[in-house]
Structure formats: structure tokens, C-alpha cells
Amino acid sequence: MTEAGNTGRAFWALLRRDFQLVIRNRGEWLQPLFFLMVVVSLFPLGLGPGPNLLARIAPGVIWIGALLASILSLDALFRSDFEDGSLEQLVISGQPLSLLLSAKLLAHWLVTGVPIVLLCPLLGLWMNLPGDALPVLIASLLLGTPILTLIGGIGAALTVGLRRGGQLLSLLVLPLLVPELILATSAVTSVADGLNAAGHLLWLAVLLILAVTLAPFACAAAVRISVS
């Protein structure tokens, strides 16, 4: 078996393990969804059922809810592996740590980001978002939720060894996600206003490429710092 083959087997084994563990622990992936539904549902109740007002604020409300729901699930991304010593074993395994952590990040996105993408169109209808803006909302979430996981993974790796790392994690990650939030909400709002959203989505794609390229290496460096 070549070294590349061993690395590939390690990647898929870790991805399958993390995916199965999270699926068995339903609270880890249901809690962000319930949080998102509660956050978005409170706005029509608090502001009233005015369709024009709800349609105007829908992109920002849905995206803020998705962002906070993703951050809510990030604290547990590496914590259980850190506590049982598995994270240290990954560091000394001899395999590329950035690739192994990419498997954990991908598993996290599959069980948290994908359900958020599937749920948000229903929330958009609840908020009276125009039908032609729903595809753009889905596209922005497909591009944006992986960025939430990748950038959030860096913060989770830096704070995994701290007793109250979840509070510090939010402070570290939120400022880095502001450009993504602006681009995503602007894309959906542009379509609702009859404008072209292609530019905003392309910038989101650029941010996603940068995150996919750089975030695993930053996570690996942060994990080495945390377990040292």
C-alpha cells in the first residue's frame, strides 16, 4: 500500500467515524436546527405579520440565524477527541494532520451545514421571501456554510484546551465572518430588488476557495499548539 493510499484510507476512515458518531448523538445536529428555527420564528411574532417588512429583513435574519447556529455547534468539533486523547494521536499519527482535520471539518459540515441549507428555504417562505430569491438564498448557503465550518474550525482548534472556550470561540470567529454575512445577505437582497446577484456569489466562491485552501493548515497549526 502506497503512502498516498494509506493517507486516503485514513481520511475516509476518520470521515466515516466522525459522521457516524455525530449521527448517533442526535443532539449535536438537532440543536443548531432548533436554534435556527426559534431565532427566525421569533421575528414575525415580534415585528408583526407585515409581508413587505418580513421580506425585506428575511435575508439578514436567516443568515444571522444560520451563522449563530453553526457557531453553536463548533465548540464540540474537537473537544471530545481532545478529552479522550484521540486528537493527540492524530498529531503523532504520521499522516498529514491538515488532511485528517479536513475529514473532521467535512463531517461537521455534512451533519450541520447541509441540514441548515435544506431548512432555510422553508424559513424563507415563512418570512415571505420572494420565490425568485430562494435559489440565490440556497446558493449563498451552499457557498457560505462551508466557510462557517472552516473558519469556525480554526477558532475551535485554538480554544479546544480552554475550560470556557466556547465564549472565546465566538469572539474569535464572528469578526472573521462579517464579510461573508454582508456578501450573502446582499446577494439575496439584490435579487429581491430586481438586481443581479452574480457578483456577490462569485466573491463568496472566492472566499470559499481561500478557506478550503488555507483553513485546514491553520487548523493543524492550532491543534498542535493546543495539544502541546
Lowest mean pLDDT segment, chosen from 97-106, 124-133, 161-170: 161-170
DSSP one-letter code for 93: S
pTM: 0.89
Q: How confident is the model at residue 165 (pLDDT cuts 50, 70, 90)?
A: low
Question: Is the pLDDT at 184 greater than 90, yes or no?
Answer: yes
Q: How many domains does the chain have?
A: 1
How is 185-222 classified by DSSP, letter by letter? Answer: HHHHHHHHTT---HHHHHHHHHHHHHHHHHHHHHHHHH
Place 136 in a pLDDT band, splitting at 50, 70 and 90: very high
What percent of the chain is predicted at pLDDT more than 70? 94
Contact 32, 116 (CB under 8 A): yes
Cα(163)–Cα(52) distance, integer angstroms: 45
Burial class (CB in 10 A: 0-12, 13-18, 19+), 119: buried
φ, ψ (nearest 5 deg) of residue 50: -60, 115
For residue 1, pLDDT beyond 50: no
- The four Cα atoms 28, 29, 35, 38 give a dihedral, to 10 degrees, of -140
DSSP string, 135-173: HHHHHHHHHHHHHHHHHHHHHHHHHTTSTTHHHHHHHHH
User: Among 1-5, 10-14, 32-36, 65-69, whose mean pLDDT is lowest?
Assistant: 1-5
Percent of the chain with pLDDT over 90: 30
pLDDT tens sequence across 23-72: 777 666 678 888 888 888 887 777 766 777 788 888 889 999 999 888 88
What confidence tens digit (pLDDT) does each residue in 204-215 have? 999 999 999 999
90 — phi, psi (to 5°)? -65, -40
Interval 161-190 mean pLDDT: 85
Domain, as residue range, for 68: 3-227
pLDDT at 5: 62
